[in-house]
Structure formats: structure tokens, C-alpha cells
């Protein structure tokens, strides 16, 4: 972990910078919401923007575009928060600074199960997508963590990431094999995958919210116990932490958050990695702050990435997952460059 | 007296190892030839062997001539030479970096070449020759970049692999973006670079591939003699009079050229470069160069996987899907074994 902060995990000290960082985060959040409403593949005038926001009776085309963008932005914020928080949880549970639902192959697990559902079970409703995605995400997480923690030294970052990459490769060739002969499934899958956050509407949001609530609650409740676990298992047990329960709860919360987000928005990687490390950089390692702030940062990151994708892809749209990979992968490279050989 | 006996037993062991190497190589070559024959003989219509042979000789045989000369022969030659190139290239990198996980994917060659090729097609509307040269240059640049970044504070293969995964993710994001902005009629040319398939290979695409393999494979095999010394480690190699840097650069250049040109014809056929080396090593045993056997294993893998993809299922799968489904579990198995032994 990062040694720069002198706050002892488990103490009730609030990092000095926290209020300022929180304020900055909220300002960025507000800014990204405004940007997300104002910019898109189609330029909309300021008058339409105001009408779409505040006048429910306005029926201009521009106002309609803005209403669509409102639901999309809300959906984007929620997905980003879920992915950011999920990344922070997975990093804490695996004690691995490079963990991220995309890199660990958890998203691919969710994707495979969704594809299986589309091809063989003919699923169509968002609830069915979520159920299958959650099962797939959990299975992939357990599988990758199992392989990655074999042998000496337990789950080192290199082992985990290789296991994740190999699992992703295996799952994506299975996905191709399932989809190739089934054009109907291919269309539906591509809509799901490419539909990305652009397909976010109020119905999806209402289905997403309960999962988000459960995941966030479990994450926040386990945060201070997870802090104690970073001191080492023995110390944590000495402090009265039930380590098995805590890690299970945190891992489940991480899987629920990213599984639900993946089910509704398609596989999106690197948000968790990016958000968590940005937060760590300014706030230090205390998970009671890192976990909620990663959610906030993830929301900002995903929303801004979505805007960037809309602008870069004109007249179409670039999937948000492509943008997050492009801006998030350098973080992986930097971390790998800085890491000590021993800790790989 | 004892010395003579020792020498005799060393020579006997050497002869035994050579016989094994020779026998395995011959068997692999025969297998490759048999598969080539099958590629020419099998198809949606099965012509008598005599017709196939006459068609190969250039005679006009009704039906058979078109099927054999225009469809099956280019397909077979592409599979043979591309498989050989992938196998030998993968072997070279695995031996040079002394790690079975090193392969053109992890090293960024595939993604680098593809990104450059797609850029040339989509943005510059370049012709085939320019695209191929750009792919070679970008493949080399990607390896050098990843190698350079991973020298950081202390070189380790783990660092190199992580950075490779990061660079690959960024390049793939760039490719997705280029795909989005590409014009409709460039899409087929672009797809060629993204997924491994022998479908629709035409005769006029083959001369560059065959020329490159015929020129560079002998060079790489000749330098392979030095590789076994490099395997002993940098210091031993230098003290045995091998100019390590010159040999490395030449081997890397030759391998990247072969891989990039092969990719321009068949697309990246998943896992062939990764699988060929270890399989060949298992077959021919230690002691003699594995370069030629690895190339033959690569060719056998591609041809066999293509036959399976064409005829084993109700649907025709491209060769890359078959090799992906075979290769990914082997990668997982290899990781499990390396983790157990503590090699990661």
C-alpha cells in the first residue's frame, strides 16, 4: 500500500485534504453532468437545453434530445459509480493494486453468461440479463482468483492479471463460437455490447438501483474492517475483525456492482483502476475514504469518457468502454513500470 | 581412459538426441504434407484424386480446376506459410525471453501491426505494399516500446507482460475508433487484420508471404544456433563469442517481419505462435534447435484447425476461433503449472 499517508487505518482521523477533495469531486461531478447534457453527436442550442431541463411541455426536437441525455447521464453516473467502487473493493480484497473488473476477466464472465442466455435461453428482459451477468461475474471472479492465488506468494498482481487475461481470452473465444452461427443472437449481443451507456433509460435505472444500493451498503459497512485487513490478517484478527466474512462481503459487493453494471451497459474496463488510483494519489490508502470517493470519481470518469466518445465518434458514437480503455491502460502501464520486481 | 568413455557416452547421448530431433521433425513434415493434401482434396465437392492432381498441374478439369486452383490451393498455401511464420516467430521470442508466455500478442506485435495497418487503410487509403511495410515497422516499434518501458528500474518478464497488456489495450481502443470512422467499403480490408481466417485468400496475395518466409526463415534458423547459447544467459553467451545484441536485433527483426506479413494475409490466428514452441519442444526434446519443428507445428496447427473449422461442425468456423478455443485452456493450464512451481 501507499506509505505517503500517515493516517493509521482504523483510526478515525479524517485526511486533512478530504473536505477540499470532496468539494473538488462534487464540482467535477456537476461539471461532467453539464458537459454530458450539453454535448453530443448532435449540437443542441442553449434554449433547447433549458427547455428540455425545465419545461416538461416543450416538444421541440432539441428538448427531446436533452431529455434522452438526462436519462443517459444518470445511467452513466450510476454505472461509473458502481464500477469505480467495484474496482476499489476488488483491489482491497485481492490486496492487489492492479485489480479491476475488466482486467480480472470478471466482465467477460458476465458477458459469456449473457451471451449464453441470449443464444440458448432466449432472454430479453433486463432482470434476466442481470441475473445471468451476476452469476457469470461471480464465477469468473472465483475462477480467476483461484488460479491467481495458487503457489508461492499467493495472489500477486502478475499472477492475477495473467489469469484474468487468459480467462478473458478463453471466454471471448467461447463467445465467438456461440455467436457466429446465430445471427439473431449476434445482433442482440452487439446491441447489448455496443448499446453501451447510450441505451440507458429510466427503466434500466430503476432495475439497477436496488443492486447499486445493496452493493454500496455492503461496501461502506465493510470499509473499516477492510482497512484493518490491509495491516495483515493476524493484526486484523487481533483487532476483532472476522476476516473471512469481511472479505466475502466485500468481494460479493464488488461482483454485484460490476455484474449489474455490465449486465445493463455492456463490458467496460479500466474505470475502477483509474478511479481508485486517482483517489489514492490525493487521499492516501484509507479505504473508508477511498471506497466512496472511488464511486464519485468513477462516475465522473465514465460520464466524461462517454462525452468524449460521443464527440470523437461523430456522426456516430464511440463506445464508452473503448474510451476508458484508452485513458485507463496508461495507468496500468505506469503502475507496472513503478512496481518493484519482488511485488510482481 | 575414463575420459574416452565419458566422451563416448556424451557422443552417444548426442546422437540419440539428434535421432529423436530428426525423427520428430520428419514426422511433423510428413504430417504437414498430409494436411496440405487434405486441404486440396476436401471441400464442398470431393473430386477424384486424379482430377485434383491434374488441376494442380494446370490442366483444365471441369469444376475441379476452379475449386482447386482458385479456392483450395491459395487457402492451403496461406495456412502452410503463415502457420510456419507464426510458429517460428513465437519460438524465437519465447527462447529469446526465456519465457513460454512471451508471444507476439503479449509483446504488442499483433496489436501494433494491426493498428498501423488499419490506420493506413482507413485514414491514408494506402495500397497493400504500404500497409504491409507500415505493419512491419509498427510491430517492431511496439516491441521496442514495450521492451524499453519495461527496462524501467529493473527488467523483469512480469513487468514486460503487464506493460504489454496495457499497450495492447490502448492499441485495441485506437483500432475500435478507426473502425468507427472508416468508410463502408474499407471494412473488409480492415477486418482481415483483426480476426484470423483463411476464408477468401487469393493467389495474388501470396507471393509476398512466401518470399518473406523463404528469405527470413533460413536466417532465423541459422541464428537459432546462437539462441541455444543465449539461453545459457547473457554472460555465457558473450564469453562464448556471440555478439548478443546483433543476434537479438536480427532475430527480432526477422520474426516480426514474418509475423506481420503473415498477419496481413490471414489475420492474427490466435495462440498459434504461443502454442507451437512448447509443443515442438515436447516432441523434439532438448539439445537441438526447435526453430524448424516449431514452424512445422505452427503449420500443422493452422491447417488442422482450418480443416476442423471447415468440416467438423454444421457451421463453418474461421480458423482463429478453433485455435482460440484450443489455445486459451492451454494458457490457463500453463499458468496453473507455473504458479504451482512458483515460476511467476
Q: What is the pLDDT along chain B (344 residues), one digit of tens a residue?
A: 567 888 888 888 888 888 888 888 999 999 999 999 998 888 878 888 888 888 888 788 777 888 888 889 999 999 999 999 999 999 998 888 888 888 888 888 889 999 999 999 988 888 888 888 899 999 999 988 998 888 766 777 788 888 998 999 899 899 888 888 888 778 777 877 887 888 888 888 899 899 999 999 999 888 877 776 766 666 776 777 667 778 888 888 999 999 989 988 888 887 899 899 889 988 887 777 788 999 999 999 999 999 999 888 888 888 888 898 888 888 888 888 888 877 66
Q: Residue B318 CA to chain centroid, in angstroms?
A: 17
Q: Average the pLDDT over A279-307 and give the result.
A: 91
| Chain B contact present for A190, CB below 8 A | no
Res A8 pLDDT > 50? no
B interface with A, Cβ–Cβ < 8 A, is 101, 149-150, 152-154, 156, 158-159, 161-163, 165-167, 169-170, 172-174, 176-177, 180-181, 270-271, 314-315, 317, 321, 324-325, 327-329, 331-332, 335-336, 338-342, 344
Of B181, B317, B328, the CB nearest to A180: B317
Structural domains of chain B ordered from first start: 2-102+196-340 (1.10.3470.10)
Give which of A220, A219, A231, A226 is closest to A242, Cα–Cα: A226
Distance CA A232, CA A95 (A): 10
Using left for φ > 0, alpha for ψ between -120 and 50, and beta otherwise, residue A132 falls in alpha
End-to-end Cα, chain A, rounded Å: 14
Calculate the alpha carbon distances from B247 to A35, A107, A214, A280, B148 in Å. Answer: 54, 42, 59, 44, 18
- Give the pLDDT of residue B230: 66
Q: What is the mean pLDDT of chain A?
A: 83
Cα separation of B254 and B229, whole Å?
Answer: 19
Of B196, B243, B198, nearest to B223 by C-alpha is: B243
- Tell me the pLDDT tens digit for each residue of A226-238: 888 877 777 777 7
- The answer to whether residues B293 and B28 touch, using CB atoms and an 8 Å cutoff, is yes
Task: Give residues with Cβ within 8 angstroms of B148, minimum separation 6.
Answer: none
User: Exposed/middle/buried for B137, CB within 10 Å: 0-12, 13-18, 19+?
Assistant: middle
Task: Using alpha carbons, list the distances in angstroms from residue B141 to A255, A273, B340.
Answer: 38, 27, 34
Cell of A268: 467496460
Assess contact for B12 and B19: CB atoms under 8 A.
no
Its pTM stands at 0.84
pLDDT band at A7 (very low <50, low <70, confident <90, very high): very low
What integer pLDDT is reported at residue B95 of this predicted model?
A: 85
**CB < 8 Å from B in window 291-330 of A:** 312-313, 316-319, 322-323, 325-326, 328-330
Summarize pLDDT for A106-122 with one digit per residue, the tens. 888 998 998 888 888 88
Is B118 within 8 Å of B135 (Cβ atoms)? Answer: no
Place of cell 459497512: A221
Q: Please, are residues A85 and A270 in contact by the beta-carbon 8 Å criterion?
A: no
Nearest residue to B78 via CA among B209, B177, B178: B209
Amino acid A243: pLDDT: 76
B245-276 residues labelled b (16+ CB within 10 A) or e (exposed): eebbebbbbbbbbbbbbbbbbbbbbbbbbbbb
Q: How far apart are CA A8 and CA A231, in angstroms?
A: 10
**Cell triple for A30:** 456537476
Residue-level pLDDT at A10: 44
CA–CA dist A202, A209 (Å, integer): 10
What's the pLDDT score for residue B83?
Answer: 95
List pLDDT tens digits, range A165-206: 889 888 888 888 888 777 777 777 766 665 467 777 888 888
Sign, Cα dihedral of B140, B141, B144, B146: negative
Chain B contacts in chain A segment 221-250 (CB below 8 A)? none
Which residues from B are below 8 Å from A270, CB to CB?
169
Largest CA distance in chain A: 65
User: In this structure, are residues A69 and A40 in contact, taking their beta carbons and an 8 Å threshold?
Assistant: yes
Question: Residue A169 and residue B328: Cβ atoms within 8 Å?
Answer: yes
Distance CA B124, CA A92 (A): 46
DSSP class per residue in B169-237 = HHHHHHHHHHHHHS-GGGHHHHHHTTS---TT--GGGHHHHHHHHHHHHHHHHHHHHHHHHHTT-HHHH
The pLDDT value recorded for residue B301 is 95
B154 CB neighbours in chain A (<8 A) are: 341
Instruction: Determine, for residues B166 and A333 on separate chains, whether the beta-carbon distance falls below 8 Å.
Output: yes
Length of chain B in terms of residues written: 344
Contact at CB, B177 and A318, closer than 8 angstroms: yes
Q: Residues A202-255: pLDDT tens digits?
A: 888 888 899 999 999 999 988 888 888 877 777 777 777 777 888 889 999 999
pLDDT band at A342 (very low <50, low <70, confident <90, very high): low
Percent of chain A with pLDDT over 70: 90
> What 3-state class would DSSP assign to A113?
helix
The confidence score (pLDDT) of residue A2 equals 43
Q: Which cell goes with A17?
A: 485534504
The helix, strand and coil proportions of chain A, stated in percent and rounded to the nearest 5, come to 75, 0, 25
Tell me if B132 sits within 8 A of B208, measured CB to CB.
yes
Least Cα distance to A286 among A216, A328, A218, A231 occurs for A231
Model confidence over A38-88: pLDDT tens digits? 887 677 777 777 777 777 776 777 777 787 888 889 999 999 999 999 999
The residue to which cell 479500466 is assigned: A270
Instruction: Select from B324, B339, B342 the Cβ nearest to the Cβ of A173.
Output: B324
The torsion defined by the Cα of B236, B240, B245 and B249, in degrees rounded to 10, comes to -110
Neighbours of B177 (CB within 10 A): 20
d(CA B85, CA B296): 9
Closest chain A residue by Cα to residue B149: A337
pLDDT at A115: 87
pLDDT at A146 over 60: yes
User: Which residues of chain B have a CB within 8 Å of the CB of A322?
Assistant: 173, 176-177
Amino acid at each position: 500500500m501507499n506509505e505517503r499517508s500517515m493516517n493509521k487505518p482504523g483510526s478515525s482521523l479524517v485526511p486533512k485534504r478530504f473536505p477540499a477533495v470532496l468539494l473538488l469531486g462534487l464540482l467535477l461531478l456537476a461539471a461532467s453532468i453539464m458537459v454530458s447534457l450539453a454535448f453530443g453527436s448532435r449540437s443542441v442550442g442553449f434554449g433547447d437545453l433549458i427547455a428540455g431541463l425545465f419545461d416538461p411541455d416543450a416538444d421541440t426536437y432539441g428538448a427531446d434530445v436533452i431529455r434522452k441525455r438526462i436519462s443517459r447521464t444518470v445511467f452513466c453516473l450510476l454505472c461509473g459509480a458502481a464500477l469505480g467502487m467495484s474496482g476499489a473493493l476488488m483491489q482491497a480484497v485481492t490486496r492487489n493494486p492492479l485489480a479491476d473488473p475488466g482486467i480480472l476477466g470478471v466482465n467477460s464472465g458476465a458477458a459469456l453468461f449473457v451471451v449464453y442466455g441470449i443464444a440458448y435461453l432466449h432472454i430479453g428482459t433486463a432482470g434476466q440479463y442481470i441475473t445471468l451477468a451476476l452469476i457469470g461475474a461471480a464465477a469468473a471472479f472465483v475462477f480467476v482468483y483461484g488460479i491467481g492465488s495458487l503457489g508461492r506468494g499467493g495472489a500477486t498482481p502478475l499472477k492475477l492479471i495473467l489469469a484474468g487475461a487468459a480467462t478473458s481470452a478463453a471466454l471471448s473465444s467461447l463467445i465467438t463460437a456461440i455467436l457466429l452461427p446465430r445471427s439473431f443472437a449476434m445482433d442482440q449481443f452487439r446491441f447489448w455490447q455496443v448499446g453501451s451507456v447510450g441505451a440507458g433509460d429510466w427503466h434500466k435505472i430503476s432495475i439497477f438501483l436496488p443492486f447499486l444500493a445493496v452493493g454500496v451498503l455492503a461496501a461502506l459497512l465493510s470499509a473499516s474492517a477492510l482497512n484493518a485487513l490491509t495491516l495483515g490478517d493476524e493484526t486484523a484478527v487481533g483487532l476483532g475483525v472476522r476476516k473471512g466474512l469481511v472479505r466475502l462481503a466485500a468481494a460479493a459487493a464488488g461482483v454485484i456492482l460490476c455484474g449489474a453494471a455490465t449486465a445493463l451497459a455492456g463490458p467496460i474496463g479500466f474505470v475502477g483502476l483509474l478511479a481508485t488510483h486517482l483517489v489514492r494519489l490525493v487521499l492516501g490508502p484509507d479505504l473508508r475514504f477511498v471506497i466512496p470517493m472511488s464511486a464519485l470519481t468513477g462516475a465522473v470518469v465514465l460520464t466524461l469518457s462517454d462525452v468524449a466518445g460521443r464527440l470523437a465518434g461523430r456522426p456516430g458514437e464511440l463506445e464508452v468502454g473503448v474510451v476508458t480503455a484508452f485513458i485507463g491502460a496508461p495507468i496500468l502501464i505506469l503502475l507496472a513500470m513503478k512496481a518493484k520486481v519482488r511485488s510482481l | 581412459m575414463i575420459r574416452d568413455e565419458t566422451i563416448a557416452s556424451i557422443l552417444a547421448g548426442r546422437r540419440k538426441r539428434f535421432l529423436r530431433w530428426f525423427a520428430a521433425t520428419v514426422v511433423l513434415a510428413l504430417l504437414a504434407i498430409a494436411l496440405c493434401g487434405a486441404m486440396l482434396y476436401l471441400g464442398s465437392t470431393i473430386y477424384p484424386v486424379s482430377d485434383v492432381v491434374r488441376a494442380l498441374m494446370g490442366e483444365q478439369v471441369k469444376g475441379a480446376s476452379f475449386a482447386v486452383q482458385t479456392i483450395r490451393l491459395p487457402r492451403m498455401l496461406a495456412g502452410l506459410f503463415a502457420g510456419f511464420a507464426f510458429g517460428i516467430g513465437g519460438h524465437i521470442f519465447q527462447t529469446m525471453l526465456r519465457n513460454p508466455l512471451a508471444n507476439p500478442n503479449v509483446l504488442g506485435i499483433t496489436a501494433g501491426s494491426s493498428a498501423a495497418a488499419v490506420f493506413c487503410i482507413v485514414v491514408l487509403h494506402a495500397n497493400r505494399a504500404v500497409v504491409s511495410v507500415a505493419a512491419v515497422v509498427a510491430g517492431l516499434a511496439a516491441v521496442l516500446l514495450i521492451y524499453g518501458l519495461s527496462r524501467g528500474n529493473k527488467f523483469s518478464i512480469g513487468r514486460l507482460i503487464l506493460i504489454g497488456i496495457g499497450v495492447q489495450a490502448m492499441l485495441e481502443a485506437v483500432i475500435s475508433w478507426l473502425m468507427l470512422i472508416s468508410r463502408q467499403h474499407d471494412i473488409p480490408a480492415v477486418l482481415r487484420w483483426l480476426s484470423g481466417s483463411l476464408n477468401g485468400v487469393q493467389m495474388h496475395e501470396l507471393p509476398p508471404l512466401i518470399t518473406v518466409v523463404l528469405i527470413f526463415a533460413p536466417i532465423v534458423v541459422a541464428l537459432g544456433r546462437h539462441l541455444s547459447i543465449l539461453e545459457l544467459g547473457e554472460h555465457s553467451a558473450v564469453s562464448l563469442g556471440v555478439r548478443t545484441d546483433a543476434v537479438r536485433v536480427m532475430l527480432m527483426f526477422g520474426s516480426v517481419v514474418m509475423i506481420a506479413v503473415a498477419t496481413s494475409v490471414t489475420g492474427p490466428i490466435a495462440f498459434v505462435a504461443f502454442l507451437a514452441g512448447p509443443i515442438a519442444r515436447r516432441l523434439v526434446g532438448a539439445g537441438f534447435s526447435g526453430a524448424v519443428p516449431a514452424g512445422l507445428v505452427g503449420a500443422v496447427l493452422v491447417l488442422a484447425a482450418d480443416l476442423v473449422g471447415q468440416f467438423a461442425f454444421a457451421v463453418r468456423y474461421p480458423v482463429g476461433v478453433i485455435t482460440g478455443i484450443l489455445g486459451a485452456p492451454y494458457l490457463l493450464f500453463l499458468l496453473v503449472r507455473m504458479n504451482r512451481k512458483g515460476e511467476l
